[in-house]
Structure 1
């Protein structure tokens, strides 16, 4: 499997994944609305117009689907919620429609998904892939997202969904938000569990899913040891060399500032990666301390 086509390749995960796959000798191309403006080999697509360059699907041995509007960039107005869902489902539907009409198709489809599937707050209960979906907005997003991808599985492609937790990376994402204030502090009670993964391990997990034919279906893309918000914030502040204040930011303040989105921060999810471990994946960064040491350049 040589040629890998990525949607959403210009994002945080897409860039890290592209770098990793190319280091393994893969040829990587992105689907982009503006292929001439990207630093990567690109093919054009336009979801609104229902267009994908036919050469892209003929070239690809596998498709990795990362495209989707961020759930954390803006408050969840009705319009934003609609965009969050449609950006995931309509893009997958377009890929399905184009693949359906091909005689020769890529062999594998690996889709991003979200650990928010299980709901915003499950306390300290361990969650696995067999647990039911929650009943909040993000659960609705993930269910619709995966259902759209499952249509592609009906075409005979080996299909994998990676329910991704909080991605830790120096270039952006959760850590940059947590450490943005002058003083780092836990949020809410600070005792809520955050199921996280180092971005390098996430890229390696996608590569593992591509290479191994026995990997199929839904997997939690999280590290083996979830951390509480307090633990993660304190450890990150230490590695970053930033002051840490143990007095938490009250939940009601976050709800005023973020609205419904605050549930992503205040809720607790303790998610198991046992299924992925059983599929032969080995984590490079299994603990928060090890992950943060690497991210902030303090790894020994």
Structure 2
């Protein structure tokens, strides 16, 4: 049994992950700006504060905290918030771990396949590939840099570059199951990497329980889908009509602004590395969606 500090513990992934970790008899403490449960403890980035009780006898940190990439339009203020919510929080954790001389067994962090950029290409991106130079890549670069600093304390680091997470409890599918998104977006030829939330959470559990599971991994299903093929499978599973007309780029840009790029562009990512150490429960989109909706 390990004691695990979880940030972003009340979010979509964090909620299921907490349940799975508790089922494995791990002790979970969650950092929150407004703690309301016994195992929730306060932290405050502006005041550089983490409740010391959350750090007692700590073994692992799983860092999921971060403002939602697609929750709001990308104003300059929002862009900075997207970076700071990930990076400053990791920096604060690093500072407290170093300050209290805590011998962590591992720092496990989320990141995104946005590391490779919002681009549509024939490249199947591998973990060793260089990052892109656009804004979505910048978020991931700074995010991962903040995680890697724990290596200076000789703490093993695991980073999961996560694709679109599919869940019955919200997230991307809630937005996709609407008239606007039950159509091909733009050309429809852009790839849409995805992962079932259960597979993603299982990877985090593995990172805690398998000491060899360190480094950077693409957390994405092995099955490649374009925006158009994804939409067709979703419509079929839902029993809903998928409109034969593509949503023009300018319409999406009017609706969501600059962040439209994350749905109008997309490339495949390689799962060769993760498949060597993890067996997917949901490899096909059809199977994943049927689990969620039926």
For 1:242 and 1:175, how far apart are their aligned partners in 2? 14
Q: 1:228 and 1:255 mapped to 2: Cα distance?
A: 20
Q: Answer yes or no: is 1:282 the counterpart of 2:284.
A: no
What residue is the counterpart of 1:264 in the other structure? 262
- Note if contact 1:124-1:268 (Cα within 8 Å) is conserved in structure 2: no
Query: How far does the alpha carbon of each residue in 1:207-238 deviate from its partner, in whole angstroms, 9 at most, with x for none?
Result: 11111111112111101112111111111122
Structure 1: any 5+ residue segments left out of the alignment?
none
Residue aligning to 2:11: 11
Computed over aligned residues only, the root mean square deviation of the Cα atoms, in angstroms, reads: 1.4
1:52 aligned residue (50, 53, 56): 50
Q: How many pairs does the alignment contain?
A: 294
Tell whether 2:166 aligns with 1:168.
Answer: yes
Q: Which residue of 2 aligns with 1:223?
A: 221
TM-score, normalisation: structure 1: 0.94
5+ unaligned residues in a row in structure 2: which ranges?
none
3-state DSSP class of the match of 2:159?
strand
Structure 1 match to 2:96: 98
Show the 5 A alignment for 1:193-204: 193-204=191-202
User: Is 1:124 the counterpart of 2:122 in the alignment?
Assistant: yes
Q: Distance in 2 between matches of 1:124 and 1:175?
A: 26
Q: Which residue of 1 aligns with 2:110?
A: 112
Counterpart pick for 2:144 among 139, 143, 146: 146
Which 4+ residue blocks in structure 1 deviate beyond 3 angstroms? none
Q: Is the Cα contact below 8 Å between 1:124 and 1:193 reproduced in 2?
A: no
Structure 1 residue matching 2:129: 3-state secondary structure: coil
Deviation at 1:107, TM superposition (A): 1.0
Cα-to-partner distance string for 1:98-126 (whole Å, 9 max, x where unaligned): 01122332211100101100010132321
Deviations 1:170-206 (A, max 9, x none): 1111111111227821111111111100000000011
The CA deviation string for residues 247-274 of structure 1, in whole angstroms up to 9 with x for no partner, is 2111121122222101100102100111
Aligned partner of 2:175 in structure 1 is 177
Deviation at 1:60?
2.2
Query: CA contact under 8 A between 2:217 and 2:274: conserved in structure 1?
Result: yes
- Aligned equivalents of 2:278, 2:5: Cα separation in 1: 22
Partner residue of 2:80? 82
Q: Aligned residue for 2:237?
A: 239
Tell me the secondary structure at the aligned position of residue 75 of structure 1.
coil
